Amino acid sequence: MSFVLAGSYQETVAQKKNITLEDIWSKGTFAQKTVQSINWMKDGAYYTALEANHIVKHQVVTGAAVETLFDESVMVEHFGAKFDIADYVLSADEQKILITTQPEAIYRRSTKVESYVYDIASKQLTKLSAGGKQLFPTFSPDGTKIAFVRQNNIYLVDLATMTERAITTDGKWNNIINGAADWVYEEEFGFAKAFQWSPDSQKLAYYTFDESKVPEYNMQMWGKLYPTDYRYKYPKAGENNAVVSISVFHLATNQVTKVDVGAEPNKYIPRMRWTKDSNVLAVVRLNRTQNRMELLHADALTGNTQTILVEESHTYVDVENLGDDLKYLADGKHFIMSSEKTGFKHLYLYDIQGHEIRQLTNGKWEVATFYGIDERTNTLYYTSTEISPTERHLYSLMLDGTNNRRLSPERGMNSANFSPDFQYFVLSNSSANSPLRVSMYQANTGQLIKVLEDNTELRTRLQGFNTTIKEFTVIRTADGIELNTWMIKPNNFNPNQKYPLLMFVYGGPGSQQVLNQYDAGNFFWYQYLAQKGYIVACVDNRGTGGRGTEFKKCTYLNLGKLEVNDQIQAAKYFGNLPYIDKTRIGIQGWSYGGFMASNCLFQGADVFKAAIAVAPVTNWRYYDTIYTERFLRTPQENPQGYDDNSPVTHAAKLKGNLLLVHGTGDDNVHFQNAVALEDALIKANKQFQTFYYPNKNHGISGGNTRLHLYTMMTNFLEKNL
């Protein structure tokens, strides 16, 4: 089966412009506009948005701007300088605004900022702290205090007096972290802020990471006369993790209660959140093998814990997926959580003791995001893959499992931002050939209130360029495996002509690249290549997401085996199409995709002519504990799973053309991976091309970097494919 997404470009090719790499990576010609920092107000009738460095209050029903809550001129008035607002949040009573400026990225999800507190009534702007930039400044629920992290310790500021105090003092670089995640938790469990206010604002629960026994990784940073060392704690597969603990600080007594998370130090605490009861903290505990997850309820006064729910798997429990769906109901007697126990991720209702009451969603499709429940009407809201694994659609459902309704009218990828009272939602929609549209809807009726951004200028601009549509289809390999794919052909495509093919791959566990969504970067590079006479295709191999656990988890303990086989089989399938030149098939990927691309070139040496591997993992022994051991267990337990499909193992099989690219400042997939593969290729006397980007991290971006990279990759393909 197949379907083609209709394009709206009716002009003739001769009247349109060709895409340039500068359009994509320098000029931002295809960049989308969005609606920045929408914050709902508590009465449900208004929301605020960041507009040209102003915070503006809007009426929901009409979208009309009714008041400017903060004007950038206030900064100049108070501090003699103007700073761009990075983000903002209103206090619960909506009398104060916490404004963050001058962001300084640390890792993927952590950023230091300079923060200011603005009193709306008095129009006074006050710097939050004179002690330096802060991480994760957060209002208490009653709006009287702000907590933040600096230099591995947690601080509180009393907003009535603007007095600051430290509530932890033992924080030390590469040793003890309070209130912030360590590198591997931030990267693999998806959170960086590691503290939470209790609902009554009287307690602060926080993580402590003891990294003292975690090995250090050292990156040299270039530019000065003598390079400097950047050392940080990075637990590679099989090595020591940080010992993690949870504590509760009681503001009234200045006392700290340690939460009993179990005596076994070799475990994970991937989630922590307060229940509706300010004396009960929910803690998710995971064994190191990641096949047993436990939901604990902790008494904040004593630290004692009770096991409420257990989820087990013969492979792994996808905690990052399931833990985010944990929602406690206002009655204090129930919670909702997701599970993959049927083979597909669905929502379940439990009583507060963890007894299952009912399965809420059901079918051979997956819940993607659970937004919550309107408890006045007992209506749940979530996105799912019910229409297609390549799309996400928004649905509502009654708590009793009835009255399922689709609320997203347009095909493609949909995500929502709900008002706290669930009266309204902002829906973001895009598809492969249609940029972002942001619209506001009434939740209970699904009625459109207002389009907030539809990228009209971009849509008009796109009509002036030579582009072709993505064609989505399902192919069946010689092994009988059905795989989702997309393909981009030249817009002067002639089915009687033979074209070279470039396959793009990521392929990692639970990931998806064959999605019906807009991509302002790579999509237009593929269009650029199509202008030059290439066909570009992408295949989601076994192990990818959206199709249930059997498809996703079949690569367990042997990463790279089934995935590489699927890509090789897909290349053979494409090579047998009458318009593909089977002698000119290449593959390109980044990160896990770099692992895949290099493996495909080596193991599929008679199928692929060329490959580009950007920032690849080349041996899973070099990657972190949480991600790697989730799928492979430790190297001590499963050495063959690490080595059998390492590109290093197969380097001597290289026949085609390889371009290997890496950033020397990659804190995620270390430059060490590229060095190891280069060493193996040299030992095998294999010629290849390599390029490194000084001090660049895993994203290899900044300044002219992306333009330089994509120019180099294009030149490589033109010469070698």
Q: Give the pLDDT of residue 321.
A: 66
- Those residues whose C-beta lies under 8 Å from the C-beta of residue 184, and which sit 6 or more positions away, are 234, 235, 241, 242, 624, 625, 626
Asked if 588 and 505 touch (Cβ cutoff 8 Å), the reply is yes
CB 72 within 8 A of CB 78: no
Comparing CA positions, the residue from 393, 384, 444, 452 lying closest to residue 419 is: 444
The pair of structure tokens assigned to 314 is 């013969």
Name the 3-class secondary structure at 704.
coil
Using alpha carbons, select from 148, 258, 143 the residue that is nearest to residue 201.
143
Give the residue carrying structure tokens 């691309």: 597
- DSSP line for 377-417: TTEEEEEESSS-TT-BEEEEEETTS---EE---SSSEEEEE
- Burial classification of residue 403, based on how many CB atoms lie within 10 Å of its CB (0-12 exposed, 13-18 middle, 19 or more buried): exposed
Q: What pLDDT is attached to residue 721? A: 97
Whether the Cβ atoms of residue 302 and residue 325 lie closer than 8 Å to each other: no
* Residue recorded with tokens 């900022």: 113
Q: What is the Cα–Cα distance from 215 to 242, expressed in whole angstroms?
A: 10
The DSSP string of 76-97 is HHHHSS---EEEEEE-TTSSEE
Q: Please list the helix, strand and coil fractions of the chain in percent, rounded to the nearest 5, in that order.
A: 15, 40, 45
Strand locations in 420-579, DSSP E?
424-431, 434-442, 448-453, 470-476, 482-488, 499-505, 535-540
pLDDT digits (tens, 9 = 90+) for 663-697: 999 999 999 999 999 999 999 999 999 999 999 99
Q: Which residues of the chain have pLDDT under 50?
A: 1-13
pLDDT in the model for residue 15: 79
Size of the chain, expressed as the number of residues it contains:
721
Please enumerate, as own/partner, the contacts of 391-400 that have beta carbons within 8 Å and a separation of 24 or more. Answer: 391/515, 391/516, 392/368, 394/425, 394/427, 396/443, 396/446, 397/360, 397/361, 399/349, 399/360, 399/373, 400/358
pLDDT tens digit string along 6-25?
343 334 445 799 999 999 99
Q: Which residue shows structure tokens 């092994």? A: 479
- CA-to-CA distance for 69 and 90, rounded, in angstroms? 10
Q: What is the SS3 assignment for 18-36?
A: CCCHHHHHCCCCCCCCCCC
At 7 the pLDDT is 41
**Structure confidence at residue 80 (pLDDT):** 83
Percentage with pLDDT > 90 across the chain: 92
* Sequence spans of domains, the chain: 2-28+460-656, 35-127
Q: Strands 689-693 and 228-233: what pairing?
A: unpaired
Residues 482 and 539 sit within 8 Å (Cβ to Cβ): no
Q: What is the pLDDT of residues 148-167, one digit of tens each?
A: 999 999 999 999 999 999 99
CATH pick for 2-28+460-656 out of 3.40.50.1820, 3.30.70.270, 3.50.50.60, 3.40.50.300: 3.40.50.1820
Residue with tokens 């390029």: 691
Classified as helix, coil or strand, 707 is helix
